[in-house]
A = this chain, B = another copy of it.
Amino acid sequence: MSALPDLETRLTDDHHDSLRLWLRLLSCSSLIELRIRKAMASRFKTTLPRFDLMAQLERAPDGLQMGELSRRMLVTGGNVTGIADQLERAGLIARNADPNDRRACRLTLTREGRRVFAQMAREHERWVADIFEGLSVRDKRTLNDLLSRLRVTLRKGEA
């Protein structure tokens, strides 16, 4: 008998393992997202895409053009322009002409936006810490390391 059937079995097992792994990753990610969405709604009457948009602006002190902002957002669902309009009406973000590109405008957090975001970010971080508290510091490092390596492969595939 050749070694082929064994090799095939191993390949199939590996495929199944990868599939199980992906479904587990997706299910963890969806459950965490759902939990944070609910907490955002009940504690701050806001949505995860709004929080995400403000988080991206907070990390970009010079502001972002709409296109850059869309690319950086982590959460999908909801159009970015619509969310930006709501946040602008609420006085949390501002839209100004871009000094380097007259056709475009840049979005920044207002002073009030920075204040509101800081408060939400503090609680958000605590919720996330609670979610991962079942894992030890060491487990978290290992998980972080494995996901970083996975992301490197994923970024390569994008190019």
Minimal beta-carbon separation of A8 from chain B (angstroms): 13
Asked whether A21 lies within 8 Å of B144 as measured between CB atoms, the reply is yes
Which residues from chain B contact A71 at a C-beta distance below 8 Å? none
With an 8 A cutoff between CB atoms, is A104 at the interface? Answer: no
Asked whether B25 lies within 8 Å of A154 as measured between CB atoms, the reply is no
Minimal beta-carbon separation of A76 from chain B (angstroms): 7
Residue of B nearest to A75 (CB): B26
Q: A15-B129, A154-B35 are in contact. Are A76 and B30 (CB under 8 A)?
A: yes
Bound: A21/B129 CA distance, A = 10
Residue of B nearest to A31 (CB): B154
Minimal beta-carbon separation of A90 from chain B (angstroms): 25
Q: How large is the interface on A (under 10, 10 to 19, 20 to 34, 35 or more residues)?
A: 35 or more
Q: A74-B23, A137-B14 are in contact. Are A157 and B35 (CB under 8 A)?
A: yes
With an 8 A cutoff between CB atoms, is A112 at the interface? Answer: no
Bound: A43/B125 CA distance, A = 40
Chain A positions near chain B (C-beta within 8 angstroms): 14-33, 35, 74-77, 124-126, 128-129, 131-135, 137, 139-144, 146-155, 157-158
Given contacts A29-B30, A135-B146, could you give 9 more A-B pairs where the C-beta distance is less than 8 Å? A17-B144, A19-B128, A19-B129, A22-B32, A25-B29, A29-B29, A134-B150, A139-B146, A143-B143
